[in-house]
Structure 1
């Protein structure tokens, strides 16, 4: 965060003194009707612009004061800057005031630019949705979050933002998720608009353009993005003029592109003699030159506009006819701060395709730091806050004073609060899941192939549960074994699509697209995949209709998808992510397609349970348990790491006796089980995870031949075992039951451990601490290379010979 002296960020005094007229433009005594959005939305009442202006002035004060109170109004023993973004908030004040108080309906959902969270809280306070006691708690424990949080803030927040680009795209995926729910559950309420408020620097994020370009998005007429085009990022003024390129990129993706550039005062000047030249001069300026103009004293603006390279007699005549203050006000008259212009632009949005509005604004609008290239995280000094209070007509001794009772502003806030009131969402419960599906898993099969079988078995055994399952993949549906499921359920799309291959008798995958399918195919963009799966996993709380989303992708790309998926979990999305194929088992593909760190990533991810079953029966049990944990309050996402390696199912030695089989199931869903019965005379215990179990069991047989009594533990979820360990050692009352530890690692008999997995060995290193065992951890720590499976395992030291030698070394044989 920048620590900048106040005097550097102080604007010229003549500009500060004329704030009330220069920033707001001429007040229009007329009124403007707002237009309803969404098929069943009621229009807000007509809004008086002077009243709306008074509210935005109060919002500007409150948003600035919220940040000021966090940094100057409470004890700070650490001495660290609390932070906040007064300038970034100020540029959004007009946009958000006009939306909330003259445009939104109760059906609309809106994502707010991360650094504008104080504006959201200020508006919610004026609407009675936030208790005033919270206004001093920004970035404090139990208070207002640093960025809007749907799950942690005390007031209404529709989307969590803060991870740049991810929060901006969330309404896009929420719009698709709502359409999906409506197509399968018609009783779901009709939507309003899904709105994103984002900064222009946020458009640097690749996640934004991956989402914008998805083919289904161009048909979402309920989608509206408003870009706060303040032409500044964290460190600098955005170089050159990029607006034409950005407009072209949106237009090429099928979006309606609108621009709210100049305010009415400046547009009136454009109609005067020399006005055309003034427009050309302002629009040909680089971003840097315009920002420098904002920091220029009034008496120097004439000379900067009439630079040496400007040869226009008409422009000179127009400029000379304005005094310094008038010219300063004119160049600041941007459309993003003109309430009438904003409302007119909203009404022009398309209902047939998504719309993006580029609203030109000033970063730090109305503040002493206005337009400074380093104002991103700069804080107003106490004297500057007093100056702002004077300009805005606020008593600094009573910063949180409500609007005067009976005033037009207070009445508009009350009417808006009633207008935006939302009915309580009643959540439909997911039907109870069975604990097993009745298949006896035999032969040789991979866990990836078992996933396909599982989905078909679920549809047969629990059709009402399967009805809520939706699968997704980024163009890898067939290679992740979803083909059978797709053949039975079809592919979902925003609208019906003609099947040109319906008469092709040779095709194996029946790719029929329509509004009743249960698989969604995206392009090769993992960020899009997890963005959509998070919103599909949030429909239980948004619309009351829970879905059970399962997304498949290649496990090496879990890392690429991790940050947006993790943020989706933070924001309340509950889903299942399946990474397959995993590890080095896809050996001929070489290092490019071999995942190493994903087992520990899964173990470390909050709000998620990581699984890596070795056998088809384990996958069935664990997947049912994971499905039972999503789509409800307090639910938990899941990550499954699966393999293409076929494994002999007989190696699991699952009991035939129903009682013993149920005990095995309970252990499997608790995190693991012993394949060999516990023997107090064991010399060493081999612990394996996932597709490496054949090597672990072969190593055990070889050790027995050598006279070593070796036991075998198969872990289905090292994550759950670690949590059970934490609960036992720290006395936590939350987390999984720690009794599973006594079942697989009895404290009465410490035994050396050899752990093996097709992933980084540190994932299982904690097992030695459960009872203080000596431990050797085998796994993959280096990039691989193309090879057959045996050579690849030997290369990484996870083959049978390496396991046997590690055990012998450990017990000193």
Structure 2
């Protein structure tokens, strides 16, 4: 039988075991991977019952373009310490490989995109077989191995046990349109990561068309300019052999010169059409026509499809060129849908083989369309190859180290006037003294804002991470207060001004507990207005199991003089809505310590979660916190802070006339309004909210819509003290509006719902209606 994906055989390199890894066996494995990946999508759409009639989907053509690359990579190149990020639409290929290696039970193959079955895109958290990196959001999964490489190096240098290994990304050429890709490629630290290898599946097609100007040369130049090794795999051995014949130089020139759509059209031609179209009408047309006239129809058809990304020998030679002293990109020319009846068709991205086409594919590959899930016989060449590969890639069971204990409360009560932003750096320094083992696993990451976010003291203490140690030329400068000591054991990582890189990195740092059994405590610090820019990749990191802490500071229109471009409005509700995350907006420095330590204590464990802290540069009198001096009362306050709210100032009567609910930096205005209302004879109770998300969860739990405790509602919003409510925050007012539903009271919600303005604090607060005057007016409207 002639393989649909046949490529000329040459001797195998010395990487392979002599009996099992013969070219013919590898070719058969490649064919089986193509079949299984195609059959999974076919079964999900054409065979499995679909009562709703809703499209199931899948990407047979996108899978087919990756089959040769992934077969060559897994069955010849990978070692157990390597990790691979697979492009989203090639997930069935990954599952097919895992099935042949014995890592996936046959029962899952008919369950692609079924509830509880194989996920639409590779998922570390939800797929039943080994997945190194979750992908699916285009561009994010591609860059993850870069940050995984940094995380591995940090664990190995600081703690040990992470070993070595390459970090591969299998990237679709359309993914290179994503800006996040180039933000990562261009970061200065990446050029030193020699274990990073990207393989670009250059099939020159997007969702709807053949891309007319793919500009492969420009892509090569961009990678090279960033310090990457560039290996281009353009033609296979068959085409290269034709180029060496008389007239071959004209054939090469003709193929290189033709537009992408014209080349793609040739893939759909019969041999007689090829003989007419391929020569073209240039100066070398006669020589090309004479050259291909000597070829039989089968050779001619195979030759026009013989691109490097489908030639196992050419791929093997490309892998052998990888220089492990710098990152490498292999740009592999491929055909979308290679080996399928839909190959090269401009609209084949989401197209499905018909039942007849699927049957023809089965016949061509020697498979049974009605019994599609056959494995190789154990004593066959392909069977021995699969077994040898499985043995080579098998990873030893990973023992997970329990995260070290984090103190709940150091016992210090801040005094004077301070900001929650400044409290972050002090809390981290306190941690180094009170819990050095926990502090040793903290990694802070920022995009060139360390000093402006008050991390200088922490940074001086723990040093800056770098792949290699670098000399600090300002160490002897007496006027330099921020020391930039760079070494592989430093615990602060500073990237360029690219928030997507930051959250990608903390996501991978937060996954080390599941990769190498060593938990880290990653904390990313960035300006709060830019949380929205970083939200999607951070959310995807949480989905993939990366547990981290994101600190947004400074926040809100309290950053008055900076103007509307730097004043965040929607971020408080983002923290409330983000799955897998607990959000806090502390009002006082002590609350920063309590919430930060609690957030750290929930990292690096199977049942862990991420956190978002929204901090401010608004100076606040710390005496207003009225932290109890009695140890039991102090602990009660701490627990309430973590549960979402506490009563900061109780009304004097049995039932207050009005409840004022403030959050974060606005607690000063809330208390000032309460004082003025008291002077007017209005008895106001003041509640400080620290986590809208925790309170909303409590409300849902009380109503039977979620699991979790609801005791905080009884302590802070008891029904017998229900009163009209004014809510106030430096953010969108709807964030706290739900609190009025706890006891069904009348309410007014104050906050920011317009773009900000530059100005003094009082002017900006007045403009948005969140100053003490606005609170007093709202309270009087409710009680009048």
* TM bin (shorter chain): over 0.9
2:732 maps to 760
8 Å Cα contact 1:33-1:47 kept in structure 2: no
Give the alignment partner of residue 570 of structure 2, picking from 585, 588, 597. 597
1:77 aligns with 2:51: yes
8 Å Cα contact 1:34-1:347 kept in structure 2: no
SS at match of 2:358: helix
8 Å Cα contact 1:262-1:335 kept in structure 2: yes
1:751 maps to 723
Give the alignment partner of residue 260 of structure 2, picking from 273, 281, 287. 287
How far off its partner does 1:517 sit? Answer: 1.1
In the alignment, the residues of structure 2 paired with residue 557 and residue 509 of structure 1 have an alpha-carbon distance, to the nearest angstrom, of 25
8 Å Cα contact 1:44-1:419 kept in structure 2: no
1:421 maps to 394
In the alignment, the residues of structure 2 paired with residue 582 and residue 751 of structure 1 have an alpha-carbon distance, to the nearest angstrom, of 30
1:784 aligns with 2:756: yes
Give the alignment partner of residue 453 of structure 1, picking from 411, 426, 440. 426
In the alignment, the residues of structure 1 paired with residue 546 and residue 70 of structure 2 have an alpha-carbon distance, to the nearest angstrom, of 26
In the alignment, the residues of structure 1 paired with residue 362 and residue 628 of structure 2 have an alpha-carbon distance, to the nearest angstrom, of 76
Distance 1:744 1:259, change over 3 A: same
Distance 1:34 1:46, change over 3 A: farther
2:101 maps to 127
1:172 maps to 146
1:222 maps to 195
How far off its partner does 1:165 sit? Answer: 0.5
Gaps of 5+ in 1: 1-18, 36-42
8 Å Cα contact 2:560-2:760 kept in structure 1: yes
8 Å Cα contact 2:172-2:201 kept in structure 1: yes
Q: How does 1:448-487 map to 2 (within 5 A)?
A: 448-487=421-460
How far off its partner does 1:731 sit? Answer: 5.5
1:3 maps to none
In the alignment, the residues of structure 2 paired with residue 44 and residue 235 of structure 1 have an alpha-carbon distance, to the nearest angstrom, of 44
In the alignment, the residues of structure 2 paired with residue 304 and residue 310 of structure 1 have an alpha-carbon distance, to the nearest angstrom, of 15
Give the alignment partner of residue 765 of structure 2, picking from 793, 796, 806. 793
**What do residues 180-233 of structure 1 show as CA deviations (whole Å, max 9, x unaligned)?**
1111113x1412110010111111111111101111111111111111111111
2:237 maps to 264
1:570 maps to 543
1:182 maps to 156
Give the alignment partner of residue 397 of structure 1, picking from 355, 370, 378. 370
1:674 maps to 647
Q: How does 1:136-285 map to 2 (within 5 A)?
A: 136-186=110-160, 188-285=161-258
1:94 maps to 68
1:740 aligns with 2:712: yes
2:494 maps to 521
1:724 maps to 698
1:364 aligns with 2:364: no
SS at match of 1:128: coil
Gaps of 5+ in 2: none
SS at match of 1:398: coil
1:548 maps to 521
SS at match of 1:182: helix
In the alignment, the residues of structure 2 paired with residue 731 and residue 374 of structure 1 have an alpha-carbon distance, to the nearest angstrom, of 44
Distance 1:74 1:241, change over 3 A: closer
2:6 maps to 24
**What do residues 443-470 of structure 1 show as CA deviations (whole Å, max 9, x unaligned)?**
0000001111111111111111111111
**What do residues 73-106 of structure 1 show as CA deviations (whole Å, max 9, x unaligned)?**
2211111110000000000001111111111111
Give the alignment partner of residue 772 of structure 1, picking from 726, 729, 744. 744
How far off its partner does 1:310 sit? Answer: 4.5
Number of aligned positions between the proteins: 783
8 Å Cα contact 2:655-2:722 kept in structure 1: no
8 Å Cα contact 1:23-1:332 kept in structure 2: no
1:9 maps to none
**What do residues 293-317 of structure 1 show as CA deviations (whole Å, max 9, x unaligned)?**
1112221112212222344432232
Give the alignment partner of residue 60 of structure 1, picking from 1, 22, 34. 34
Give the alignment partner of residue 463 of structure 2, picking from 490, 494, 498. 490
1:510 maps to 483
Q: How does 1:239-388 map to 2 (within 5 A)?
A: 239-388=212-361
8 Å Cα contact 1:671-1:716 kept in structure 2: yes
8 Å Cα contact 1:34-1:343 kept in structure 2: no
In the alignment, the residues of structure 1 paired with residue 349 and residue 705 of structure 2 have an alpha-carbon distance, to the nearest angstrom, of 44
In the alignment, the residues of structure 2 paired with residue 605 and residue 744 of structure 1 have an alpha-carbon distance, to the nearest angstrom, of 24
How far off its partner does 1:810 sit? Answer: 1.4
8 Å Cα contact 2:104-2:129 kept in structure 1: yes
In the alignment, the residues of structure 1 paired with residue 312 and residue 296 of structure 2 have an alpha-carbon distance, to the nearest angstrom, of 25
1:8 maps to none
In the alignment, the residues of structure 1 paired with residue 396 and residue 761 of structure 2 have an alpha-carbon distance, to the nearest angstrom, of 58
Q: How does 1:588-667 map to 2 (within 5 A)?
A: 588-667=561-640
Deviating more after overlay: 398-407 vs 118-127: 398-407
Give the alignment partner of residue 25 of structure 2, picking from 41, 51, 54. 51
SS at match of 1:479: coil
8 Å Cα contact 1:223-1:355 kept in structure 2: yes
In the alignment, the residues of structure 2 paired with residue 312 and residue 134 of structure 1 have an alpha-carbon distance, to the nearest angstrom, of 52
In the alignment, the residues of structure 2 paired with residue 203 and residue 76 of structure 1 have an alpha-carbon distance, to the nearest angstrom, of 35
SS at match of 1:730: coil
How far off its partner does 1:22 sit? Answer: 6.4
**What do residues 260-318 of structure 1 show as CA deviations (whole Å, max 9, x unaligned)?**
11111111001000111111111112211111111122211122122223444322321
In the alignment, the residues of structure 2 paired with residue 44 and residue 327 of structure 1 have an alpha-carbon distance, to the nearest angstrom, of 32
Distance 1:71 1:21, change over 3 A: closer
8 Å Cα contact 1:88-1:115 kept in structure 2: yes
In the alignment, the residues of structure 2 paired with residue 457 and residue 749 of structure 1 have an alpha-carbon distance, to the nearest angstrom, of 39
SS at match of 2:649: coil
In the alignment, the residues of structure 2 paired with residue 337 and residue 20 of structure 1 have an alpha-carbon distance, to the nearest angstrom, of 16
In the alignment, the residues of structure 2 paired with residue 80 and residue 525 of structure 1 have an alpha-carbon distance, to the nearest angstrom, of 39
In the alignment, the residues of structure 2 paired with residue 59 and residue 789 of structure 1 have an alpha-carbon distance, to the nearest angstrom, of 64
How far off its partner does 1:21 sit? Answer: 5.4
Give the alignment partner of residue 79 of structure 2, picking from 74, 91, 105. 105
Aligned Cα RMSD in Å? 1.4
Give the alignment partner of residue 806 of structure 1, picking from 771, 778, 783. 778
In the alignment, the residues of structure 2 paired with residue 761 and residue 94 of structure 1 have an alpha-carbon distance, to the nearest angstrom, of 54
8 Å Cα contact 1:89-1:115 kept in structure 2: yes
How far off its partner does 1:46 sit? Answer: 6.8
Distance 1:55 1:191, change over 3 A: same
Distance 1:761 1:248, change over 3 A: same
